[in-house]
Amino acid sequence: MTDHLEFIANGWGMPSMPKATADALLDSVLQGRETLQLETKRVSGKMVGKALQTVCAFANTHGGWLMLGVEDFDKATGRDRLYGIQENPEALDELLRKIRTHFTPPITGIQPWFLMTELRDGKHDQLICFQVPPSDKVHSIIDGGTWMRLPASNREMVASEITDLSYRRGVHSAESEPVDVDFDLLDTAVWRLFVQGRGLTTTDVADQLYRIGLAKKVNGVLKPLRAAVLLFADHPGALLAASGTRADVRVFHYKGTVEQAGDVPNLKRPPKTFSGQIYQLISQVDVYVQDELAHGLTLAASGFQTVHRYPVRVIKEAITNALIHRDYRLNRDVQIRIFDNRIEVISPGLFPGRITAATVHKMGSFARNPLIASNLREFPVPPNVDAGEGVRMMFSLMRAGNLYPPQYREVRDQAQEAIVVTLLNEERPPVWEQVSDWMDRNGPINNSALCQIAGLDTLKASKLLQRWVVQGLLVSDDTRGKRNTVYRKPSQIDVDLLQDVQSDEGQ
């Protein structure tokens, strides 16, 4: 068996898992059932196909851990579940080979780990853990289907789900679809401004769009792409309505800090709707929002006046990203909601590629709509540099202004999914940076940990945690009882296990 393990290690570069990480991972495995990001299997001949399905499902969903050498939760408990990997070396070898050869496209970034532990019979042997990252592609098993991960199992996807996932991941984008819009409707002032910026001629709009990749032939007939309509038509939302796309921006300015439902909403004025080319929309909406904030001092519900302190560049970048990177398949407008204590920018669609709410400040933006992004930068005064630095700039400027960093979250429990970016109009206490950094490295926090970090008593720590929950900075989890309540960043939900191990690797 030693020779076989050496072969595996040499082929995969398989390291031993750090002891602290191994102990934490084993505790998670032995205390609970399989989850959205965790599955266990004994090593057997029947294991190979199921394990490939799990790896495929993890890559197509949120990533996860596949631990081999462990019995199902329903068949044993505690350490009686630990069988090790010596049961069937040939099956393990087959799985390792097929992980490399049996996915299309290949899944990259899979990290296998050796984990040494005491087994059910008292002997010491190794388990193998495969850490599968979420992918920015859509993967299938060759002759074995395309799989997605459910809370504790895998399910084969149907064709419509595969298509939908391709759009979500940014593998395909609605911007590149041809649409039935007359080219004459794209010969606008914004088109001529674009032509000036790129040094093109204007003799034939259709021909020029075809040459720069913004039009294509369908059954011999030239049609503009959706991106061209969004970039150059005076009223793209109206022209694209028949294909299920809305492309306007709606701005809501509320009195106070909450939206009040009822016959008379607590709006300061009727909602403002903006329609037009993306280039113009960014400027028009930004000017309007800045003007709303500059009118400036608003009487809050508490009786105190509120001064809006957001950096100008941060607001414009949030608007720019919402319009450039939104999912234009969805029949929903971008919304901007102004409250006394925050601004919310709501962009239809979820994060594309490997970006998550937890990583967006490190990874920057992903061009879901590369045609829109690349052509916007060709205007004489481009609204975007298209260098992937905008999000990091937002975090930097908010920090420099002693404000809380931008809060990103995905909204999945609505009829249409969306990304919400929240800019809090409130000075952050110094302790937040310590707490945020601690949580990024260690995961959820509880009252006692906050007391140690900040030097607070239990009552003050509790009030601070509750305030962060109200602000949307933290989410409380009291499923193990109020005394054992822990608090997570919204971006940490469902990814704590992956983050724990990645944090340990960097220490």
Q: How do 64-68 and 38-41 pair as beta strands?
A: parallel
**How sure is the predictor about 422, in pLDDT bands with cuts at 50, 70 and 90?**
very high
105 and 145 in a single domain? The answer is yes
- Tell me: the pLDDT tens digits for 221-269? 999 999 999 999 999 999 998 888 889 999 999 988 888 877 778 898 8
Q: Is the pLDDT of residue 287 over 50?
A: yes
Of 352 and 100, the structure prediction assigns the larger pLDDT to 100
74 and 60 in a single domain? The answer is yes
Q: What is the pLDDT of residue 491?
A: 66
Q: What is the pLDDT of residue 495?
A: 45
Q: In angstroms, rounded to a whole number, what is the distance separating the alpha carbons of residues 214 and 228?
A: 6
**How sure is the predictor about 201, in pLDDT bands with cuts at 50, 70 and 90?**
confident
Query: What phi and psi values does residue 80 have, to the nearest 5 degrees?
Result: -65, -10
- Tell me: the pLDDT tens digits for 336-379? 999 988 999 999 998 887 777 777 877 755 678 999 999 998 89
178 and 160 in a single domain? The answer is no
214 and 320 in a single domain? The answer is no
Q: Is the pLDDT of residue 497 over 60?
A: no
256 and 239 in a single domain? The answer is no
The total number of structural domains in the chain stands at 4
Q: What is the pLDDT of residue 413?
A: 67
Of 46 and 225, the structure prediction assigns the larger pLDDT to 225
Q: Is the pLDDT of residue 5 over 50?
A: no
The fraction of the chain above a pLDDT of 90, given in percent, is 46
Mean of per-residue pLDDT scores for the chain: 85
Q: Choose the final residue of a domain: 378, 408, 424.
A: 424
Token pair of 197 as six digits: 């910026």
| 3-state percent helix, strand, coil for the chain, nearest multiple of 5 | 40, 20, 40
Q: What is the pLDDT of residue 296?
A: 55
Averaged pLDDT for residues 169-193: 92
> Judging by beta carbons within 10 Å of its beta carbon (0-12, 13-18, 19+), is residue 170 exposed, middle or buried?
buried
Residue 313 sits in a domain of what CATH number? 3.30.565.60
Report the largest interatomic distance among the alpha carbons of the chain, rounded to a whole angstrom.
82
Q: Is the pLDDT of residue 9 over 60?
A: no
- Tell me: the pLDDT tens digits for 254-265? 988 888 877 778
Of 191 and 507, the structure prediction assigns the larger pLDDT to 191
Please provide the distance, in angstroms rounded to a whole number, between the alpha carbons at the two ends of the chain. 32
Of 478 and 496, the structure prediction assigns the larger pLDDT to 478
Q: What is the pLDDT of residue 162?
A: 93
Q: Choose the final residue of a domain: 391, 424, 457.
A: 424
Which residues are within 8 A (CB) of 65 and not within 5 positions of it... i.e. 6 or more apart?
25, 37, 38, 39, 129, 130, 131, 132, 497, 498
Q: Of 119, 98, 101, 89, whose CA–CA distance to 6 is shortest?
A: 89
With the CA atoms of 209, 211, 216 and 217 taken in that order, what torsion angle do they form, in degrees rounded to the nearest 10?
120
45 and 148 in a single domain? The answer is yes
Q: Choose the final residue of a domain: 374, 394, 424.
A: 424
105 and 234 in a single domain? The answer is no
Single-letter code of the amino acid located at 201: T
153 and 179 in a single domain? The answer is no
**How sure is the predictor about 76, in pLDDT bands with cuts at 50, 70 and 90?**
confident
330 and 470 in a single domain? The answer is no
Q: In angstroms, rounded to a whole number, what is the distance separating the alpha carbons of residues 486 and 316?
A: 35
364 and 341 in a single domain? The answer is yes
Residue 11 sits in a domain of what CATH number? 3.30.950
70 and 150 in a single domain? The answer is yes
- Residue ranges in 143-188 assigned as alpha helix (H): 159-169
Least confident of 31-40, 153-162, 220-229, 276-285: 31-40
Strand order in the sheet with 111-118: 38-41, 64-68, 124-132, 111-118
Residue with tokens 């388990």: 127
Instruction: Give the domain extent around 207.
Output: 174-243
In DSSP notation, 323-362 reads HHHS-TTSS--EEEEE-SSEEEEEEES---TT--TTTHHH
Q: Is the pLDDT of residue 113 over 50?
A: yes
Instruction: Report yes or no on whether pTM surpasses 0.85.
Output: no
> Cα 332 from chain centroid?
19
Q: What is the pLDDT of residue 388?
A: 63
What are the residues facing 299 on neighbouring strands?
305
Q: Where are the beta strands (DSSP E) in 16-174?
A: 38-41, 64-68, 103-104, 111-118, 124-132, 140-141, 147-149, 154-156
Token pair of 37 as six digits: 């990001």
Which element (helix H / strand E) includes 216? strand 215-218
Residue 487 sits in a domain of what CATH number? 1.10.10.10
In DSSP notation, 274-328 reads E-S-HHHHHHHHHHHHHHHHHT--EE-TTS-EE-----HHHHHHHHHHHHHHS-T
- Residue ranges in 335-457 assigned as alpha helix (H): 360-363, 370-376, 390-400, 430-442, 447-454
Averaged pLDDT for residues 162-167: 88
Q: Is the pLDDT of residue 496 over 80?
A: no
436 and 404 in a single domain? The answer is no
